[in-house]
Amino acid sequence: LLNLCTLLVLLLCRIGNSTCPYKCQCFTELQVLCADERMSSLPRDISRQVREVIIMTSSLAYLFSNSLMESPQLTKLIFLNNALKSIHLTAFEHLTELQELELSGNPNLDHLYLGTFSKQEKLNKLLLNYNSLETILPGLFDPLTQLEVLQMKSNVLSDLPPFLFRNLSSLLEILKLGNNLIGNLTSETFRNTSQLTELHLEWNEIAQLDDGIFSALANLSVLNLRGNRLTSFANKAFGGEPTNLKELNLKGNRLTELSLESLSSLTDLTLSDNQLSSLTENLFRNLTSLERLDLSDNQLTSLPEGIFKDLLSIEVINLHNNNLTELDSKLFQDQLLLKSLYLSDNQLETLQLGLFDNFILRPTVRLHGNPWRCECQLWYLHDWLIQNLQDVELLDLVACERPDSLRKRTLVSIRRDQLVCHRSADWMPEPNSCSLQVSNDTVVVRCSVEKCSPMTVKVQFQEENSESRRRFPLCTARRTDGCTLNTALTGG
């Protein structure tokens, strides 16, 4: 689509040129675009000054041995969305200066002959996307020792021959093989591709990664394995040694197990849309450079208190659409620079006191889609929302699920004193769970409660003699368990 838009812009800016081939457009003396659905053969009158030729949306079905012999000076040749069925073994034989070649968008092109690129020693970019290539013959790319970019996206490749890229080791940096049917990869597949920086294998049929399969890719920065069939991913795929990998995309697999210890250079980790139900506390411990973490659309019910410990550079944490019921108050204590936190569509009823208190940058937060229990346990979240209205996305969807009297009311539309805990609330102490101790001028009341919640203690003094002078000594109250305690002093 981007290529098409660029071509249309160039078309609008075309220049007049009496030497331009019939039914083609010339942007400059060096560029020619031919886009005609009725064109079934290449134009014969291309000037020797032309360096770039683009053929698109034509009915051209075959490239013969002599189709391009009159244009040996070309450095860029693009066939985009044509009807190519077959390319002669020597069709490009005369194009020894070619640096960029694209043969994309040909639904009937299902094979390439061995030797098709035998003369393209200067080629640095080869795009073979959106065709119907079923197999790639061993040795097809051997002459392309200067190749930097190789793309074969959206074909029907099911297998890659061993050592297919063996002669591309010196310069090949980007390899895109997404949207194919590749199921098996071996350690020989990427042998001698040590300069590779990007490897795209998304939307294939890969179910397993052998130990050390990526160990030769010392310079790999981006690895995209999205939409495969992996049930586990371990750093053993890199030989267990530290790597330079920056971006790892494992979205849309079937992951239930993870091991990431050696990937200490990661800045972007995408684990969304998998089957993760639990995570070990040390899973991310070595990923101290991590900036973006996506765990959305999994089956997580809880998170260990220290799972994000030492992730001091993290900017985005996405926990959207899991089954989280509770978050530890210290879960984000190291994430001082967090910019975005997504907790939407979980099973959270309340948030613990202090959960958001360590943030310095006031991150954008999503909280909608949770069954909030609008009782006194929600005082902390209520107060935080009132103070940070502009930082909460879809605030009008942050609504109460219980009690029935407040159901579907937005949390910010409710007054704090409407968040009431009744006597039957599970955190309230039973009368026989409290003890009274008097020492000099101090009265100590000790109550056992099941969990930490905000509590108000009211002390009422009753005078025995109405004629006596009222004296209410200073009333103090303390909680020794780190919970919130409000006090009220009244007289009777």
pLDDT in tens, 363-384: 999 999 999 999 999 999 999 9
Q: In 3D, which of 452, 450, 456, 489 has the Cα closest to residue 472? A: 489
CA distances from 399 to 23, 161, 353, 376 (A): 63, 56, 19, 15
CA distances from 224 to 159, 189, 247, 269 (A): 18, 16, 8, 10
Q: Which residues contact 470 (CB under 8 A, 6 or more apart)?
A: 463, 491
Alpha helices in 170-278 (DSSP H): none
- DSSP code for 410: B
242, 265 in Cβ contact below 8 A?
yes
Q: Give the separation between CA 291 and CA 316, rounded to whole angstroms.
A: 6
| Cis, peptide link before residue 138, omega less than 30° from 0 | no
Write phi, then psi, for 2 (nearest 5 degrees): -65, -45
At 393 the three-state DSSP class reads strand
Q: What is the pLDDT of residue 421?
A: 86
Q: What is the pLDDT of residue 135?
A: 94
207, 231 in Cβ contact below 8 A?
yes
How many C-beta neighbours within 10 Å does residue 22 have?
Answer: 10
265, 290 in Cβ contact below 8 A?
no
Q: In 3D, which of 207, 202, 210, 214 has the Cα closest to residue 245? A: 214
Q: What is the pLDDT of residue 17?
A: 47
Q: Give the separation between CA 290 and CA 460, rounded to whole angstroms.
A: 55
Q: In 3D, which of 120, 128, 83, 87 has the Cα closest to residue 104? A: 128
Q: Which residues contact 267 (CB under 8 A, 6 or more apart)?
A: 246, 247, 289, 290, 291, 292, 313
Q: What is the CA radius of gyration of the chain?
A: 33
Q: Find the helix or strand (DSSP H, E) in which 383 lies.
A: helix 379-387
Q: Which residues contact 150 (CB under 8 A, 6 or more apart)?
A: 126, 141, 165, 168, 172, 174, 175, 176
Specify the pTM. 0.82
**Structural domains present in the chain:** 276-420 (3.80.10.10), 432-491 (no CATH)
Q: What is the pLDDT of residue 470?
A: 46
Q: What is the chain's pLDDT, residue by residue, as a tens digit (492 residues)?
A: 445 554 444 444 444 445 788 889 998 889 999 999 999 989 888 888 999 999 999 999 999 999 999 899 999 999 999 999 999 999 999 999 999 999 999 999 999 999 999 999 999 999 999 999 999 999 999 999 999 999 999 999 999 998 899 888 779 999 999 999 999 898 888 888 889 999 999 999 999 999 999 998 989 999 999 999 999 999 899 987 778 999 999 999 999 999 998 899 999 999 999 999 999 999 999 999 999 999 999 999 999 999 999 899 999 999 999 999 999 999 999 999 999 999 999 999 999 999 999 998 899 999 999 999 999 999 999 999 999 999 999 999 999 999 999 999 999 999 999 999 865 445 455 554 566 666 666 767 677 665 555 566 666 555 555 444 444 454 555 555 555 555 555 554
- DSSP code for 285: T
Question: Which amino acid, residue 317?
Answer: I
Sign of CA dihedral 426, 428, 431, 435: positive
For the chain, the straight-line distance linking the first and the last C-alpha, in angstroms and rounded, comes to 80
Q: In 3D, which of 157, 49, 141, 41 has the Cα closest to residue 101? A: 141
Q: What is the pLDDT of residue 471?
A: 46
225, 253 in Cβ contact below 8 A?
yes
